[in-house]
Structures are given as C-alpha cells and as structure tokens.
Structure 1
Amino acid sequence: MSTTLLDRAPAVSTDQRTSLIGLTRKEIAERLQSDLGLAEKEARMRARQIWGWIYNIGATEFSAMTNIAKAMREKLEDWYTIPRAEIVERKVSRDGTRKYLLRFAPGVEAEAVFIPGVGRSGALCVSSQVGCTLNCTFCHTGTQALVRNLTAEEIVAQVLVCKDDIEEWPSGKDERQLSNIVFMGMGEPLYNLDGVAQAIDIISDGEGISISRRRITVSTSGVVNQMHDLGERTEAMLAISLHATNDELRDVLVPINKKWNIEALLDACRNYPGTSNSRRITFEYVMLKGVNDSDAEAKELVRLLKGIPAKINLIPFNPWPGSEYECSDWDRIEAFAEIVNRAGYASPIRTPRGRDVGAACGQLKTESVKRRASELRAEALYGDGQLPE
C-alpha cells in the first residue's frame, strides 16, 4: 500500500470567477452570451471548443486552448475557472485499487475509488453525497451523518481527478483504463437525482469523456419514487442494494425498507425504463454470516426475482471497526451462488478490492467526521473554530 497525504488544513477559495466544470454545453454557451456578450452562434461554437478541451483533452488552463484566439482566452481567464478538486489523500492498494479523499469545500469531503480490471477495463466508484442518511447497519458509510448533496461539478470532478491520476487524456483512447462509472460510493444517489443526472449527461457526452450510459450504473437502496425518473432522465443501468429476502430482516439491514418494502421495490424494478435481457438490473447482496446466507434464502431470492431480467452480485462482507457482522464463510457463499446459478441467474462473487486501504464496498467513510463539519468550516473561515457573534 502506498499513501500520499497532503496538508489537511481546509482550503478557502476567494476566487469569485465561475467554474465551468459541471455546467452543460448549453449552460456554458448561455454564460458566454450573458457574461461576454457573444452572439448565440459564436457562443455555441466557443462552448463546443471549450468542452472538448476540458473533457476530451483534460485541459486545466485556458492558455492551453490553442484553437481559441489569445484575446478570447484572456477574457475566459478573467471570467471563469476550470478547477480540480483538492486531493487530501491518495491511497493505492496492493491490488492496484486507488482511493481518493477529495475536499470540495471546508468540511465537505468525499471519497472515490478506482478499481482496475472491472467491466471492459476499469471502474470508478463515485460518491453522490457527503455522508448518508440511510443507516444501513452493515455499511460503514451509513455511520457518517449526511453533510450535503454533491453538485454535478463535484461528481464530475471525481472523474477528472481519476483520469489525471491514471494519465488517461485525451478521452478518446481506444484502450481505456477507465471504462465504467458506478454510483456506489458515499450517499444515496436518488436523494440527489438532479446532481447525478446532470453529471451523467456530462460524463456520457460523446465529444468529451464519452463513457456510454450503458457503462454507467446507479445503485440505490430502494428510493422507489425516484427510480422511474432515474431511468427516463439518464438511461443509466440500475443496481439495487437488496441484501435480504424478507421485510423483517431488510427493515434491519436497509431501514429504508420500512418506507418502501420489497414488494414495492421489485414492482419499481419491473417498470424500470429500458429493462430487458440485454439491460439487466443488478441486485447486490452482501453475504453476512448466519444472517442472510442460508440455502432457503438463496431459493427465496430466486423466487422473488422471477420475471425480472437480473443478475445477482454476491458481495463478501468487508469488515470495519465496530461492526456487529461477520463475512459468510467462503464455502457458504459458493453454495449460495450455486443455487442461484442453477436457477439461471448469473451470480458472480465480487472479489473484495482495496480492503487494505479501506476502499472496499461498504467501507468508505471520510476522516472529516472526526469533528463536526460545521466546526471545520468555522475554523477555516474564522481561525478559532467559533462562529462570529
């Protein structure tokens, strides 16, 4: 394991310019019209140029945009920024997994994890919130109180940081290291649907980062009333954090089940836009010793998913300090998988990645929670950790 630990003092930005990261091409064009007085046609052309430099080439300075006249580049520099998120800490696992702790504002930190050798090439697990409200009892992230939603800019920033780190610019390389995006990091993506949807629009744009929507997966613990909108707005692949086959147990493991039970959740899955045998829903099932790993539960899982185009990811539980659960024994996981496989469902057992750097599924929790986020913000702004009278 290697670790790069940077200065942990919260940074305070005094830059009043507008960041272009996280804006759509249309929004950038509108800014150029209103701020710089460009005509609509020129604004659209300039927005397309800027977009290509930011998301295809990976430019971090307007001075690098050599197909734009120098005078225009100077105006862009006066009005806008194309910043990168601050990397507070970077850890590299023995298996090549990379975990980034990123700071977006004082007291606002989240983690992203790059996992090589997943999907076609590699997957980046991004966060959609700082902290979480769901309190899933097996998940370390759930023990961190929600600070706030991440903006589209902050979600896209996680992708840019990763692409910088793995040196994958321009975006149009045939042999990519980063081919998949999974919204399986900190937070519940469907409680931040606007930010997630706009980030997906940017990440999937064919003239920029250009990751296909079919290679973008959004995982939800079961926010049923937002699932159809997710499909309509993003066309993203859907993953469901299921983890139990009856409401009594799921009420404990995934408390949102008390609001939308398994029946309601599966009905929403059956109606998810675009679902088919070629666009199957992934059901995630963490294997907890003596809790949800019996043969009977494997058979019930098969019964519940009947008629839903699905695959089932069996996830060995990743331990974290203070957890009351243990991972199922390997032979028990394999026996569970065999029952599911015999029923015709693909049920890969997810190999734990990045455990040694706390980057495995369910382990993400930022160091910023050692003190309240409000205290961090106050200290950064006023020096003594106290708000002014």
Structure 2
Amino acid sequence: MRRSFLVVLILVLLPAVLPAEQIALGPFGSFIDPPEGWGILGQESEKLTFAFSGEGAYLQIKRFPGFSGLDALVSETEGRLGAEGEGTRFSYASGEAYFGTVDFRTGGFSFSGYLFAFTDPSSGLDPVVLLGFSDSEQLGAYNDLILSAMDSYSPLALTDRLPGPVASFDRLFSGGRRSSVEIAVAGTRKTVRLDQGEVETASYVTEREARILGAAGSVAAWERFFRVLYRDSVAGLEPLTLALHEIFPRNPSAREAREIAEELLVWLQSFTYRRSGTFSDFVDPVQAVVSSSGDCDSLGLLYVILLHSFDIDAILLVSEKYAHALGAVDVSGGGARYTHAGKAYVVAELTDQVDLGLIAADMADPAGWTPIVFPNNLTDRNE
C-alpha cells in the first residue's frame, strides 16, 4: 500500500488516537470534536495536524498571524498547495468564512478534500484555515469522517452554539422556506415560524453522524453523536426558545425553574411518538417541533435544549439496557433522581404522560443509564 506524502515527511509518526471528545484548541480556535479514531499527528506553532486511524485521512488547522482578507487567505492556501478548487464565502457568526472543495498533487500523489477558511478581525483570533483531505481515490470512503471532523470545529466561543462550518455552508442552499408551527404551552398559544431548510440540513447532519456512529458504537461515540446534534439544533430552535421566553421568566427562580421543567414536559409528552425510518431512525429536534412528533431520543434532546435556553441545567440519559432515553433536570422538588457529577437530576419521561420525577419501576436502576452531558451549554459556561 502506498504511503501518503505526510507520513513520509514526518518519518512515519503514528497519530495519538483520541477518544470522541471536545478538544480545546487554544490559539487555533475554541474547540474541535472529531469522531472517534482521529488523533493528533503533529503540532507546530502555527499548524495542528490530525490523522484518522490507519492514516487514510488528514485534517490540518493552520493559523495565519498578521494575515488579512478572506480571499487572500484562500488564494494563499490554494497557491501553496498548487491546488484547484471552488467554493462559496458566507457570513459566519461575527466573521467571514469560505467553504469549498480542493484537489491537489504532491509527492506524485493526488489528494482531494475540503477547505474552510475563517477570518474575524474583531475576535482576536488569527485567520485560520482547515484542510480536510485524503487520497483522491479514497475520498468516498473517508468523506463522512472528514466532513464530520471539519463540522465539529468551532473557531470562537460565539460559534460553540452555532451549526458547524459544513452545516452552516449547507444551510446557504436550503434556507428561506418557513413553516408556521402552533404551540400551546402552559395555557398559552403561540405561532412559531421555523426555517424548513433547518430540517433538511439537520436531517443530513443526523444521517451522516448516524453512519459514523454505526461504525464506532462506543459509549464515547454515542455521547459525541448527541453533542453534534445538540450544537446543530440550537440556532434553528431559536424562534421557539424566544417564544417560550415570552411565556416563562428568562431568569427563573428555583420554584419557577421547576414549573418550566414541568410545563415543557407536559407539552412534549403531547407529541406523537414517531421514528424517522431512515438509517438513523432519529427525528432531529427541529423536525420534531415542525411535525409535533418524535421518539424518546429526539424529544429528550429537545427537552434539554429548551431547558438550557433558560440556563436550567439538564442532561440526557440513554440506556442500551432499556432501549430508552430520558431527560433529567437539576430542579428543586420531589421525584426520582439520577446523580451525576455531584448533582441529583430529576428524571423526565418524554413518551408517557406521567409527572416529572416518575419512572417505570423496571427502568429505575441508575446503573442502567448513561448520562450525556453537553459541555458547550450556557449552564457550564456560567459555572
């Protein structure tokens, strides 16, 4: 099997394979959360290189201190590689971004992949370029893994709660069509207009991540799956959270937080139970709201996102043993609780019309549940 030029240049150094977790990037950005199997291959003052296990795919993050201008940044990168590519520039958070394809040759080998460039002079972050690629003949095999890794990058704290670079790029071509959704929460009716393009792109992200999860299947991979969908959903649900902030106090007291958790639970319990029937068999949170339907996983994740919008701490509980998922919320009052990281969370059953804190006796063993924590939520950042 032929070796890539990167391996030759670094004298066949093997990457330190990382678990599926968020990695703080320091001067290279806020964080990256690549799929299981990626590892750090090398680090220099202005370049960080990752490789997938087996060295079939690569991801480089390069910063350009003192550089200005997005077009010049892309031209410099493509020129340095002798690459051909095409893409689109777009606004991303408070900065400007570019995403496109790239093809280049080096060391007698052909490589293909994707380029993301980002610049925001007001942020203090150096202009940065992400280059994800593989041998051109192998791109189809590594496409999901490369795009997922690039999509997990967050250049700024401001983008931690925005869809990733790839999903944001995709939304350029699917947004604009809005669906009106009637909600009835705590005796109040509201009309919420959600972007139908959010549903289309979220479905793409969900299916991509499900394919990656199916190949991994570890607990850490499951945790990452929900982290990715959480991040991808928050911005698309903003019209709904703003409507809910008109119904409930934005900064609730302990008593009000319990009431919010109870009322949101009652509303989501009224949704029709439905699974998507796709490979993922998962209804993403935005689609769940548009269709007023979902299963335990999708409604549990939606519940957590909505509670986080009020700075109410909540986690998702998933169980392979029980083939089920629950919400769990850190509020006062009675009910069955799940203890994690020193907090006792009240459990929330989303697919049966029972009160907050009630759980079926045959699912009550805490050892049967795995907590899914979302480290980029507002609650964690305020602690």
Tell me the TM-score normalised to structure 2 length: 0.29
Query: Which structure's relative contact order is higher, taking Cα pairs within 8 Å and 6+ residues apart?
Result: 1
Structure in which a larger fraction of residues adopt strand:
2
